[in-house]
Chain A
């Protein structure tokens, strides 16, 4: 198909249209709005044959798509920030009921102070809800991953909800050339199949019953195992997508990590800026590398460990905080990964970019310098540091 100009938001909407989603339900919140505006247009024009439920809250948005999914429909919702926090309760239930709901998240800071700009505080607060969680770096990737998400979520071995994270404004509102794949190809890759366990009067079934201590743990255990096991499906889905479209993303983007002294680990759109700084610093003789993680849940610990074992210091960039503990959410994962796989590489944590604070070239250079200093000093002075905060 020919290349068109789409923003992160409209790229997602375009994919949802091609996926022949049956039910969409969403509540407007900046910077997610243009995504649902576009979907409303598609439905109003008849370009997408779907029901659009204009709900009165995000809580109802997720509740209604959950229910539509239980009834057997292919569904989509999207939100951001406070809206995602309002969905928190229902996120656990979606995963617990094993429903293949797909949600777009325009990642945004969380109040207070109220702030509409990007960081990852909203999604990190949903870390343990049991969803598959992707991060994108571009509009093209948002589009491609949306198509992958349905194939993964609806896979019989997975049956779990998926959220697609793309940075508020930075990705949601930036227009980029996007090359979609053909409509028929989309539905061939992610076909709609009638699931066996649905709300159907011809085959009555009880959804959402009470799990007593004799049964709750087993249900929970199965959902946990399904999330762990989904990694295989995720890798296969990406490979197959690459085969049909020429584009695959893997679990991470590793750039100049071989033979590096320091790797900066990040999530989301900042990865591109980091790679550019890596390119420049390599030109200046600094042995730095970048690892931009694409999948946060299930956390690809083993695969990550392999890359990080080959460097001398790991710097983890968190665009979210976990107040009162030793580091940000991503750092905790990476540090646990290093220790669990007996990788004797020091790691430090940088928290930056909260509430849309710009992460510029100098900030990224500073992060690398902190890592390189650990290597030259052979010790960690400061486990957690903040870059770009002025107090």
Chain B
């Protein structure tokens, strides 16, 4: 630590390449990176969702680490249980090492159905790293809107129509919610900035108590993007300030990837089919631009460069 280039990342793999996630899936990249950085002494807790169904299809498993999936809404509580078990067993001399305990849960499992158990674990300060891979809708069930779907996006339950622009609400700010619990470390990340993400994972794991990471995770069928564009769209999310990269250390906000010259949000919107219906509606694009401008101001991103 800190990692400077991809060459610095551990060569060990704990996430098997034979999983059944889609080509270009952001979550697969996240799972691989997280397990690499965390290493062998780690237990993975997974909420119901794409990653779970695609990596544990019995009798196959993609996991080279101990892994548990229980249900959709309780992964933080499951992680608390694993942590408590190891705390007790180490103290009593039943086992010798206390492992990392990492949750991987989607945006539905985090922002919606799982937010109660997440809040409980964060408030108790149980030593776990909770990672939300946010693909901005219920992708596993067929692209239904969630509390993390961005304004204007098409999903099967936020269809644009005469009376609707698509998703009518803005994303829940999960990092703010996590920080409000007084946790010592929270951060955003995305797959276009792997070194930034890797350093944050390591920092989170080395921070006592509960930590939280919010990973933007492109979904190629759900976002209606080319399977080759996962990294590109992630990078555009950052460069338009729709997904600023920052960390919150003990309440202090630090921008980790600076963007001196921003791109207009239209660059991000126009390569995604889920925003296609907005492209001839400048007033809607303007609303999204205004949202990005606010984030840019908050995290010190530069002006839009023509």
Contacts and interface: CB of A to CB of B under 8 A. Distances in A.
Q: Do A and B come from one complex?
A: yes
A68 B123 CA distance: 19
Contacts of B97: 201
A26 B42 CA distance: 26
A65 B81 contact: yes
Interface string A40-73: 0000000001110111110111011111111111
B81 A64 contact: yes
Interface in B35-61: 40-43, 45, 52-53, 56-59, 61
Given A59-B117, A66-B81, A201-B40, A206 B56 contact: yes
Contacts of B80: 25, 53, 55, 60, 64, 67
B77 A64 contact: yes
A210 to B, nearest CB: 5
A124 interface: no
Interface in A50-100: 50-51, 53-57, 59-61, 63-73, 75, 89-90, 93, 97
Contacts of A51: 84-85, 87-88
Interface string B63-97: 11111111101101111111011111101101101
Contact of B68 (A22, A25, A57, A207): A207
B306 to A, nearest CB: 50
B116 interface: yes
A36 to B, nearest CB: 15
A206 B63 contact: yes
A67 B70 contact: yes
Contacts of B40: 201
Interface residues on A, range: 35 or more
B201 to A, nearest CB: 17
B302 interface: no
A206 B91 CA distance: 25
A155 B76 CA distance: 29
A246 interface: no
A38 B16 CA distance: 46
A69 B81 CA distance: 8
Contact of A64 (B57, B66, B84): B84
Contacts of B95: 72, 200
B202 to A, nearest CB: 18
B78 A66 contact: yes
Contacts of A64: 77-78, 80-81, 84
A23 B88 contact: yes
Nearest to A218: B58
Given A55-B80, A63-B77, A65-B81, A73 B68 contact: no
Interface string A16-29: 00000011010000
Contacts of B64: 204
Contact of A59 (B56, B67, B74): B74
B124 interface: yes
B117 A199 contact: no
A73 B88 contact: yes
Interface string A204-219: 1111111110010000
B12 to A, nearest CB: 13
A332 to B, nearest CB: 29
A63 B120 CA distance: 12
B69 A59 contact: no
B182 interface: no
Given A93-B70, A209-B61, A49 B88 contact: yes
Nearest to B97: A201
A194 interface: yes
A201 B85 contact: no
Name which of B42, B92, B120 has the most chain A CB atoms within 10 A of its CB: B120
A90 to B, nearest CB: 7
Contact of B58 (A57, A71, A93, A211): A211
Interface residues on B, range: 35 or more
B41 A209 contact: no
A202 to B, nearest CB: 9
A53 B84 contact: yes
B82 A63 contact: no
Contact of A63 (B58, B70, B86): B70
Nearest to B77: A60
Contacts of A50: 88
A208 B57 contact: no
Contact of B85 (A67, A90, A205): A67
Contacts of A69: 81, 85
A204 B99 CA distance: 12
A70 B77 CA distance: 13
B119 interface: yes
Contacts of A89: 71
A68 to B, nearest CB: 4
A212 B80 CA distance: 29
Contact of A208 (B70, B116, B117): B70
A55 B83 CA distance: 13
A90 B71 contact: yes
Contacts of A194: 94
Contacts of A72: 85, 89, 94-95
A205 B58 contact: no
Contacts of B67: 199, 204-208
A44 to B, nearest CB: 15
Nearest to A61: B77
A67 B75 CA distance: 10
Nearest to A59: B74
A206 B56 CA distance: 7
12 contacts: A22-B89, A25-B81, A63-B74, A63-B78, A69-B81, A72-B85, A72-B89, A73-B85, A199-B66, A206-B68, A208-B68, A208-B69
Given A59-B77, A201-B65, 11 more contacts: A23-B81, A51-B84, A51-B85, A51-B88, A59-B74, A60-B116, A67-B78, A67-B79, A70-B82, A73-B84, A210-B57
5 A-B pairs with least C-beta separation: A67-B81, A64-B81, A209-B56, A56-B120, A60-B77
Interface of B: 40-43, 45, 52-53, 56-59, 61, 63-71, 73-74, 76-82, 84-89, 91-92, 94-95, 97, 99, 116-117, 119-120, 123-124, 126
